[in-house]
Amino acid sequence: MSSSADVSTSGSTDRRHIATEAARRRTFAIISHPDAGKSTMTEALALHARKISEAGAIHGKAGRKSTVSDWMEMEKARGISVSSTALQFTYVPDGADPDTGGAVINLVDTPGHADFSEDTYRVLTAVDCAVMLIDAAKGLEPQTLKLFQVCRHRGIPVITIINKWDRPGRTPLELIDEIIDRIGLTPTPLYLPVGIAGDFRGLLDRRSGEYIHFTRTAGGATIAPEEYVDPESAAEREGDDWVAAVEESALLSEMGQDHDQEMFLAGQTSPMIFASAMLNFGVRQLLDALVALAPAPKGREGIDGTMREVTDPFSAVVFKVQAGMDSAHRDRLAFMRIVSGEFERGMVVNHAQTGKPFATKYAQTVFGRDRQTVDTAYPGDVVGLVNAMALAPGDTLYIDPKVQYPPIPSFAPEHFAVLRAESAGKYKQFRKAMDQLDSEGVVQVLRNDIRGDASPVLAAVGPMQFEVVTARMKTEFGVDTSIQSLPYSLARRTDADSAEELARQRGVEVFTRTDGAILALVSDKWRLQYIEKESPDLTLEPLVAAAD
């Protein structure tokens, strides 16, 4: 029979083990404007961690493969990411002891297109750090700015990557100044490029003073060999290009733009690396920076204000629900970010939103479309729960004591359309598909008694979300659908007392969203201003905007 001292010792050992495992985790998202190279960088990181043997993106669009993180047919056809995917792999930095197991990287690739901002926002609730990818030629772009503001609002530290340095672009100091001027973030380059944009030869390591020279591989499909050269030899080898990099480094140091860990974690500065994801230049340096600098998972506050530390009993937040990833099984996968404790496959946990138990028999780690059963996982890990029909983004799972984390807000939709099945005989499949896509958060689904269930109204941040709905309706459920745009541009939250009067207003239609929220759709801002002026007692509350 165990004594109380034995139990206490066992509990302390478990907590130490959980703390050790959590400290190994680095969970981050890649954010950027479309076509800045997010999916290509995801592939390159996996390649350097030796998770894959050849990058999916190869040089030249004519021979381009789809990346492993893009699995939807629409993504492959258009060469963009329209859903977030989670990749997990282990990385052992050079010189580290492989017996310690290395760092566990949880990388969440996000949609770059502005139409899918809501999906990206959900991902940013589940990560501890962000990698902001900037095109060397284009600099800061609108979607990057929006997502950076989300990171700042949530206190997420940012590492900046200037990508595509193998192509013509702007100067390092020009890009640095733009970031300072436009978003108030001070870049502190860890490395500076040797060679102008378009003539990428290697990197000056500002901390060691060494030169890292890269050698191109065929199509950038394999890891680029690196050669370390001392400063004197680098000067002889690269001449004026080396001198220019050294002078720029000295200038940055004089201006106080050397890395400071406290200022980075406080969101005041951003370590910067110049890279080419397509050629696999600077990719290992990013991985090393993530391991050395990015924060490990930490505790999270529940809606009642209590803090759940990483060593406390198991808890997790569902941030993404996705179906159709495996066409052979047509299952539904809920991505959860583990916040605290140790997860063991098969454990029965509590679902905070319903109060019901939830069995975790089928749990997997995900690498693009490929999956592996996971038996244990720790804070920071992203685990997929299969056939999680009861779960939705923002839900909390836990083991006692109870905890519930704040919900993930829905964005204010700006585009509205009626969805109908082309064939009345497909109504049953239509309803099932609509319920599934609604629960995944692909779009917001609005209903009222006048239109009925056969003609739900879809509300979206961007019109491309409607394309995803119709494409998945056809490929996953065999239902051909038609979309008809509605003449509304604004949505406001209202209440039951105001709904009846608002429904009588010209240019207004009232609906109920699946979560129970009552929304008034208004034709334009001028109509809204008129109603607010004439009927100030009616409830018309703004929703969360995509740029908030």
How are the residues of the chain apportioned to helix, strand and coil, as percentages rounded to the nearest 5? 30, 30, 40
Spatial distance between the Cα atoms of 407 and 323, rounded to a whole number of angstroms: 21
Nearest to residue 71, comparing CAs of 58, 57, 63, 82?
82
Give the C-alpha distances (Å, rounded to integers) separating 287 from 20, 249, 276: 20, 22, 14
Cα Rg of the chain (Å, integer): 25
Nearest to residue 358, comparing CAs of 349, 369, 371, 347?
349
Spatial distance between the Cα atoms of 502 and 523, rounded to a whole number of angstroms: 12
Where do the domains of the chain lie, and which CATH numbers do they carry? Answer: 26-293 (3.40.50.300), 300-398 (2.40.30.10), 415-534 (3.30.70.3280)
pLDDT the model gives residue 65: 47
DSSP 3-state assignment of 18? helix
Spatial distance between the Cα atoms of 308 and 402, rounded to a whole number of angstroms: 10
290 C-beta neighbours (distance < 10 Å), count? 22
What pLDDT tens digit does each residue of the chain (548 aa) get?
444 444 445 567 799 999 999 999 999 999 888 888 888 898 898 888 777 666 553 333 334 444 444 445 554 554 444 444 678 888 988 777 777 778 999 997 776 556 666 777 888 889 999 999 999 999 998 888 888 888 888 899 999 999 999 999 999 999 999 999 999 999 999 999 999 999 999 999 999 999 999 999 988 888 999 999 999 999 999 999 999 999 999 999 999 999 999 999 999 999 999 999 999 999 999 999 999 999 999 999 999 999 999 999 999 999 988 765 555 555 678 999 999 999 999 999 999 999 999 999 888 876 656 778 889 999 999 998 987 888 988 999 999 999 999 988 777 888 999 999 999 889 899 998 888 888 778 889 999 999 988 899 999 888 888 888 898 889 888 999 999 999 999 999 999 999 999 999 999 999 999 889 999 999 999 999 999 999 999 999 998 654 44
Task: Look up residue 236 and give its amino acid.
Answer: E
Residues flagged as binding site: 109-113
pLDDT the model gives residue 315: 98
Nearest to residue 385, comparing CAs of 366, 363, 365, 357?
363
Nearest to residue 210, comparing CAs of 285, 136, 280?
285
pLDDT the model gives residue 378: 97
Nearest to residue 421, comparing CAs of 460, 471, 473, 359?
473
CA 302, 304, 307, 309 dihedral sign is: negative
Spatial distance between the Cα atoms of 307 and 310, rounded to a whole number of angstroms: 10
Residues flagged as binding site for GTP: 109-113
Spatial distance between the Cα atoms of 540 and 543, rounded to a whole number of angstroms: 10
The DSSP code for 61 is: G
Spatial distance between the Cα atoms of 135 and 159, rounded to a whole number of angstroms: 14
